[in-house]
Chains A and B, each alone.
Chain A
């Protein structure tokens, strides 16, 4: 790379109580390039980006913007330096419209004398319109953001970032919530921005995206700078070994065996509210069955209907051969040995401010303590066993769950369901947002579960995970199971075709 870098950060240090988040990190970005930043959770990617965006201040180190050394005190200053960031968390205001969101904090004022304190709505919408068109999107500037789809909201975020005349746009896992088609749109947008000379910093967990969108890639590990490479010179395996500092033998450890008794049988399940149409599927003990589909295909809704967390109109569910009365409750399903590991672990899987111990026993309190009084000793033995068994990285069972990393939080959710002695597990996006090392551990745990005779239904948006872990795969499209594919015949292309509704496989009716 030649010329003056848009950003050159040298020797950045940043410590938080108890952890050195960044330890002598270098990073630079040139006009028109997409520089991908990768690393496991806790590697310091977000911290580094927040420093560039003015949300944190470094303890030591220098930052140059276009050759001039600067101190970025707050987000406003970052904006005025032409640095914008699109955070992983949702940063729009739901009940404001698109234009108000794009220009939040920078709304144009009326030029009329005496009315200078008022917003010039006309100009704001015209500007927003121009901006959105220049990004090749057709989002309505008057639409209330709350009622837009995720992809359109993301377009707003990008437009907002561009609107400060940004020369640098930082994107923190922008594709986490997008479907493949929406990701393609976003990538086109990124290419457009690059062609305008804007530099993109792209943080991602999806290594397969690196080659598609990145020019250079920088790896961080445990707060330290590892290396920067041309994307064309590295393979996914290279990146993984740089990230974890060791090579991961196998991300998908599976031992396949003959399936046993029928654990779950769903026949003709339909629900208008959940948009499910005549769903048939089954899962046997000893099997991991993948459920593939695009966002909105109804996979999570199906899981909730089976688990009794959402009502359905017609159809039958059988658990271990026992018919389940319609519209059951989760409490009853738990007693029948079913566990749901939800997609959104922070809001549905865990009580974040409670301790590891309290979370682990939450679903099995009645089983562990039938006399209604909690015994600390018994609880401790269950909890310590789980921590050891699942290698949960926590100083003790008393630690609040919110202070654990994503991967360890997911292990706590798992421990919770293991403590219930469940035998049918429904995993909804089991490894979303957790790093490679923890991913492999979660996967090997799933394999251990089925080895012990449990049955697993796994929803995942990552096709490699579906292909790597499943005995069989069901593909869903618009509320219907459109195909059942055995492991031997499952390929990315074939599954994608089913998921997009381009092909209809013959669904065996059970």
Chain B
């Protein structure tokens, strides 16, 4: 036993460091890299920028994480985000008070999520298919309702959520923090949270334990839809406008952030803490590439490469037993 303990110590990192996912190291490396290359990067102002830019993605990634924990997938979150923003802004243009209009946006997200949940739980469609369809429907309706162009709204209550501040903290960041807190409570403090892990880890076993698996799975998609609605409203508030293509591709960033954060499609493994690191990585990358002035056209390819690289690194280090 003694010899084994000593060899283990010499062979691997201290246990606390072992638990830090690879994505965190890549994140630190990127920050150092951008800080050296662009003087404007490592400033408080820019970090606040990154926080604001990452906030909407954070909300969406929380949704992606709980869905992926159930071994599902939500390809419609970007489109729901767009659609919810359009409904909120249209409601304001139609004369609804800003709080109600924003509520309408949230309810839109909720309704889309409910439809996803129904299709998955009771129509028994694979999540991939159900949400891919929803992506088309929500994205398409957004284009129709906005007449294929940006639509504007600037009610002060509304725009406060995009560009206002609570003390010095930008409101989108506040919203993301509240969303994180709510998701944390749901995931770790309620029975629903355990059922989310159970749906991904052993759905049949959960059903045999008396858990109403279909209803809870429905609930997961409803919750994810609501979060996408929150993201859509905040996004529109930031831009003071809703744009019919603003959310295109966001579902992929949200899924990537989740996977980077260590949540996997296997057995309901993971959680939302890692997702923060995944979101931070993507937000820092987007911001940093802008700051150093890389052409937009190149950014997608670079970001994709780094995401894959970080995940491969994580997998390799785990396989070698260097990380846990």
Contacts and interface: CB of A to CB of B under 8 A. Distances in A.
A119 interface: yes
Given A106-B210, A119-B189, A96 B205 contact: no
Nearest to A80: B210
Contact of B205 (A74, A79, A91, A95): A91
B120 to A, nearest CB: 19
A352 interface: no
Interface stretch (B30-38, B87-95, B127-135, B194-202): B194-202
Interface in A110-145: 117-119, 121
B204 interface: yes
Interface in B171-186: 185
Which label, helix, strand, loop or mixed, suits the secondary structure of the A interface?
Answer: loop
B208 A96 contact: no
Between B193, B195, B202, B208, the greatest number of chain A beta carbons within 10 A of the residue's beta carbon is seen for B208
Contacts of B270: 95
Interface stretch (A82-90, A202-210, A495-503): A82-90
Given A118-B185, A118-B190, A95 B210 contact: no
A118 B184 CA distance: 12
Interface in B260-281: 267-270
Interface of A: 53, 55, 74-76, 79, 85, 87, 89-96, 100, 104-107, 117-119, 121, 146, 160
B198 A104 contact: yes
A119 B194 contact: yes
Contacts of A93: 194, 197-198, 201-202, 205-206, 268
14 contacts: A90-B202, A93-B206, A95-B267, A95-B268, A104-B195, A104-B211, A105-B191, A105-B209, A105-B210, A105-B211, A107-B191, A117-B190, A119-B190, A119-B193
Between A85, A95, A106, A121, the greatest number of chain B beta carbons within 10 A of the residue's beta carbon is seen for A95
Nearest to A75: B210
A313 to B, nearest CB: 15
B207 interface: yes
Contacts of A55: 208
B264 to A, nearest CB: 10
Interface in B196-246: 197-198, 200-202, 204-211
Contact of B209 (A117, A118, A119, A160): A160
B145 to A, nearest CB: 36
A79 B211 CA distance: 12
Given A95-B268, A96-B194, A117-B190, A76 B201 contact: no
Contact of B269 (A85, A95, A100, A160): A95
Contacts of A91: 202, 204-205, 208-209
B267 A94 contact: yes
Interface string B57-98: 000000000000000000000000000000000000000000
